[in-house]
Chains A and B, each alone.
Chain A
Amino acid sequence: MKILVPVKQVEILDEDFDVQDDGRSIDPDCIEFELNEWDDYSWETALQLMEKHEGTVEAVPMTVGDESADDGLRKCLAKGGERAIRVWDDSVAGSDPIAIARLIAAAAKKEDAQLVLAGTQSTDQAHGQTGIAVAALLGWPHVAVVSALDYSAADGKLTVRRELEGGVEEEIEVALPAVLTIQLGINEPRYASLRGIKQAKTKTVDLLSPADLGVSTDQLGETGSAARVRRMYIPERSKAELITGTPPEQVKRLIEIVNELKGA
């Protein structure tokens, strides 16, 4: 079985970020990148399946992004896996999750994957759309927000738990091929070893264009998206009444407030 794991380099804003003059995007100078938190868990899920079913399960991380996204793939490869896939050309810029999903679905077909493990959402945009859109485009069964997973190689069946509101979980059975979106806390993601980080540098990252995957440019970018950003702005926020002073002064006031509130 081959597992495709779509990962994302998410954007983290500096303290003094600003919206650009176009009013539709953040000044790129204020942005740093890191691997999406959810993707640590989906990649760990894939690694554990690969280790448990040694020799019969292969996991491949992939991303849609420019060359800066290679860092995220290397981070995955430092923990395991032999190769990764990056998809990009300029026609991808401005794509929303639905357009990105077209590329991931096409890559899953090209790789003949039977399982796609995506993160539930990204820390920057938090759409929660990509994984389940991939499932739709592939026509595969899917479960979102998976907090536990058991795979039986004998019958190709997955028994998963879906995390619901209020701490309840639902146990569900689903047969391969399938797409799951993985929730935080499903496992304890490992750290990469120094040796792993070194080895990752020599592993292959295949660069594919949308054309290589048979996805036309009108299916991508803003024209291929389900939504378009009209405006971005920094909201006015209500602010807490700040307790200032030295820590002893702050704490004195804090105790007064708590006593007052408890007495009321």
Chain B
Amino acid sequence: MADILVISEQRRGVLNATVAEAIGAAKELASAKGGKVIVAVLGAEPERIIPSLSLAGVDEIVSVALPSSEFQSDEYEAAVAALIADRTPKAVLLPHSIDSLGYAPALAAKGGFGFATDVFGARYDGDDLLAVRQAYQEKVHVELEFPGKQTVVLTLRSSAFKAPEETGSPSVTSFEAPKADARTKHVTFHEPAAGDGEDLTAAEYILSIGRGVADEDNVAEFEDLAGALGFTLGCSRPIADNGWLPKFRQVGQSGKTVSACKVYVAMGISGSVQHLAGMKHVPHIIAINKDPEASIFSEAHYGIVGDMFEISKELKAQLG
């Protein structure tokens, strides 16, 4: 048996897009070993999500009703542990998300499963499942193996695997999750503070600054520069965390995805995975950074290895 189990995830009724990508990854793995792809749909109203996960390659959808309307780590952990015991899959695939960070390590530690997080490649070598992830600030790839583990739990990086395009017609079954003691209580969601009329998600031209700006006093200079270029000012996480620019200007996983952006100029930004998540889709990326090894250069189309202050000064001079 080499079945692959995919665990769905949703928030306020919206499916995490990585779940469909995980189905794509599961399809590849399962077909290599002649196993089935089983997708578990967890939530208060799983039936609402089932149609969007009825994709080509899915053999079975298991509907798992949970008491809480939103993600609750104890309920997810108990349900997935029971599903693994029932189905004994070879691999369990989850999105690498804030929710899975909240329960997958607990699941793996208690169950004694093989475990790897933020995985962007998975394959079989003979009967051995292998997973690839990054380390050392994206400078090194690490291939992991899981000797002696009957089941391996992997959390998958978003946009790393391809979701099936065609729909399918899987069988639908249901599974009764064990009663879990929900020890944390959801109170409410807090929306991010709205900007002063400026919306990064709608901006076509963005100039973003990162840690390289070094000091709060230097920020104004780049605000001017963005203005001179006709660009909207964005930033990476440390700038917003320091309070040097408001949170609504932050690009990345916990900030904005700049979906309308056509040209993105990154100054003094190293290009962490979290930052790239918000902008790597932009068709034209220009990186200015004094570290030639900065990972932003492997996503950028044009690069200047140089001092952001010197380039800024020169830009202003030439723009007049």
Contacts and interface: CB of A to CB of B under 8 A. Distances in A.
A229 B142 contact: yes
A15 B136 contact: no
B101 A144 contact: yes
Contact of A232 (B109, B142, B287): B142
B179 interface: no
Interface string A155-192: 00001011111111111111100000100110010000
Given A142-B106, A234-B140, A168 B284 contact: no
Contact of B187 (A173, A251, A254): A173
Q: What DSSP secondary structure best describes chain B's contact surface? A: mixed
Contacts of A227: 114-116, 131, 144-146
Nearest to B128: A230
B90 interface: no
B117 interface: yes
Interface string A207-225: 0000000000000000000
A132 interface: yes
Interface residues of B, number: 92
Interface in B136-195: 136-137, 139-147, 149, 183-192
Which of A137, A163, A230 is packed against the most chain B CB atoms within 10 Å?
A230
Interface in A109-133: 120, 123-133
Interface stretch (A1-9, A45-53, A85-93, A237-245): A237-245
B127 interface: no
A239 B285 CA distance: 12
A98 B319 CA distance: 55
Interface residues of A, number: 77
A62 B15 CA distance: 39
Contacts of A247: 306, 310-311, 314
B87 interface: no
Interface stretch (A66-74, A195-203, A255-263): A255-263
Contacts of B297: 237, 239-240
A123 B274 CA distance: 12
B92 to A, nearest CB: 13
A125 B135 contact: yes
Interface string B298-320: 11111111100011001100110
B260 interface: no
A167 B102 contact: no
A33 interface: no
A55 interface: no
B36 to A, nearest CB: 24
- Interface centre among B113, B287, B306, by most chain A C-beta atoms within 10 angstroms, is B306
A163 B130 CA distance: 31
A106 interface: no
A239 B102 CA distance: 35
Interface in B96-112: 97-98, 101-110, 112
B49 to A, nearest CB: 17
Contacts of B254: 163-167
B306 A232 contact: no
Contact of B192 (A13, A167, A257): A167
24 contacts: A98-B108, A129-B117, A132-B103, A132-B105, A133-B105, A141-B74, A141-B183, A143-B184, A164-B189, A166-B255, A166-B257, A167-B191, A167-B255, A172-B186, A173-B184, A174-B184, A226-B113, A232-B142, A233-B140, A234-B140, A242-B303, A254-B286, A258-B265, A262-B263
Interface of A: 11, 13, 15, 17, 19, 26, 97-98, 101, 120, 123-133, 135-137, 141-145, 159, 161-175, 181, 184-185, 188, 226-235, 237-243, 247-248, 250-252, 254-255, 257-258, 261-262
